[in-house]
Amino acid sequence: MIYPQLHFTGQVWRPPYEAGSQLLQITSGCTWHKCKFCSLFPESQLYQEVLDGTYTEEPEIERLMEMRTLIDLLKIKVNLLGHHVSNTVPITGALPDDKAAILREFDKAIVEFPEEELKSYRSRIWHL
């Protein structure tokens, strides 16, 4: 099978357990920003903001809205396995078949969960 040539911004880093999965860059950088050894995306504006101390983390609701938008706009067949602990809205399904149900879950969460509850949940995840 021939795969199209993809362009990735900055250095590509993948943990060994993801070596066989497809790689799709949908963000630049990471959400941790505290690793002293990390050299991911050193030329990016985001990295510079972290160094300057001007970076502010987006609200949890905005994260949900971004994930919802991504899923809504995906036009390819894909299996979503987003039921890990760091997702405040665990999702699992196959697109396009399960798209409407997944979007309803995001819509429900965006309306029902207050920002403080989502922040509190994320703050209790020790590895984030």
Give pLDDT tens digits for 73-116.
988 899 988 877 778 888 899 999 999 999 999 999 999 999 99
State the pLDDT at residue 89. 86
State the pLDDT at residue 65. 92
pLDDT band with cut points at 50, 70 and 90 for residue 47: confident
- Which two three-digit tokens encode residue 74? 């995906």
Tell me if 127 sits within 8 A of 121, measured CB to CB: no
CA–CA distance, 125 with 82 (Å, rounded to integer):
16
What residue type is 120 in one-letter code?
S
pLDDT above 90 (res 2): no
State the pLDDT at residue 93. 94
Residues 6+ apart with CB under 8 A from 32: 38, 128
Phi then psi for residue 78, to 5 deg, are -155, 145
More confident residue, 18 or 72: 72
Query: Considering the entire predicted model, what is its pTM?
Result: 0.63
Residue 107's nearest CA partner among 58, 71, 53, 55 is 71
Chain segment 9-26, per-residue pLDDT in tens: 666 667 777 777 766 655
Chain segment 53-71, per-residue pLDDT in tens: 888 888 999 989 998 999 9
Tell me if 44 sits within 8 A of 83, measured CB to CB: no
CA–CA distance, 28 with 56 (Å, rounded to integer):
15
Rounded to whole angstroms, what are the CA distances from 42 to 7, 50, 51, 93, 94? 17, 10, 10, 35, 35
State the pLDDT at residue 117. 92
DSSP helix/strand/coil, 31? coil
More confident residue, 114 or 40: 114
